[in-house]
Structure 1
Amino acid sequence: MTDPPADDRVRVVVVDDQTLVRQGIRTLLDLASICVVGEAGDGAEAVAVVEQERPDVVLLDLRMPRFDGLWTLRELRERGLEVPVLVLTTFDDDTLVLDALREGARGYLLKDVTLEQLARGVHTLAEGGTLIAPSITGRLLTALRSGPAPSAAHSPASAAVEPLTTREVEVLRLVAEGYSNREIAGALHLAEGTVKNHVSAVLVKLNARDRTNAVLRALHEGILG
């Protein structure tokens, strides 16, 4: 199902194997003035729809038959489809969260969120931010600190990190809380261009490919602890 282009609203593709869930999410997002431009029931369909529609954000379930959410994340990355992916699932599992973030998801929310929280998450990712449910963030920190060291294939990064400045840590903390560059600029009373420079410096110093990967690396290194 595809809607006609909708002015300047955020454009979303919903990926979930349950038709009723997809329809429900579509109805809710419409109430929040977010346009669902496509739906998919598994990863293969999702990749095809994303290639066709080029949405601003993908809402992705993880547990699906045939091609699941993790497969979808890998396939999108391998095809160079760098659309922000917000995982929306019922599975509150630390390993699954880490796997999804390491595969490139930019956000992770549970399906018990309110419409306001979901809409904020969609807008946050569309504006270049990241978002992890607060209930999950603390457990991620514990898991990254106490669990076995990640393998080279799954580690957020392998090289040593460079020390961050106090301001860079402040910016990174807000990135971890899901703030966009514009919101960080307002919170720290900085120009948005200055925030972008700080974020770029953090990515370089942490050897991170994106904002979510930077947060994972910072948690692993104890920078945000």
Structure 2
Amino acid sequence: MQITKATYLISSPSVDKCPQPDRPEYAFIGRSNVGKSSLINMLCNNAKLAKTSAAPGKTQLINHYEIFSSSPRSARGKEKGVTWYLVDLPGYGYAKRSQQQRKQWSRMIEDYLRKRKNLLNIFVLIDARHEPQKIDLEFIDDLGEWQLPFTIVFTKADKEKPGAVERNVKLFFDKMKENWEFLPPYFVTSAVSKKGKEEVLDFIEDCNKAAKE
């Protein structure tokens, strides 16, 4: 799949303020400073689409982007364009915000994830440089409890040696196996080298097609 156009649409303080759920939707979420904005910009071929910041906690609302895409994998080489939503959610676990602010974000995120009817998949971003973090595992367990579909995206793979990334990915899934019988799909990515870009976009394309059937 190729993204032909990506535009910022709206930032919403709650799920009831979000755009009409009239097309496929994909949410991106992870701990603060996991590289979420950089990954979104890489996928959308636009370095300025999602605002990046050296300071964690930049994203504070539910940010919707309207995505236009086409597929060179169709029988005629190109199918009619598909429109879908990409959603940039606030990072979780940012300690420098007040407890009240963190609770407010947590409620907003949970309401959105559980009530958004057109949400086809949640991309949970994990920093590939680190060993498994409790906060990530707890968030994933919440998604399982809520019975929501998700995929894991390991980010910043370029900032570690390949062997270290492979080790951290294995350690993460070893920890998941303690509570999970089946493991989710996953991708290893780098916003710098564009590693994993085609695989993530092809996954979204397959989800869009499945939603039509």
Shorter chain as normaliser: what TM range?
0.3 to 0.5
Q: Which has the higher strand share?
A: 2
Asked which structure has the greater RCO (Cα within 8 Å, sep 6+), the reply is 2
Length-normalised TM-score, structure 1: 0.43
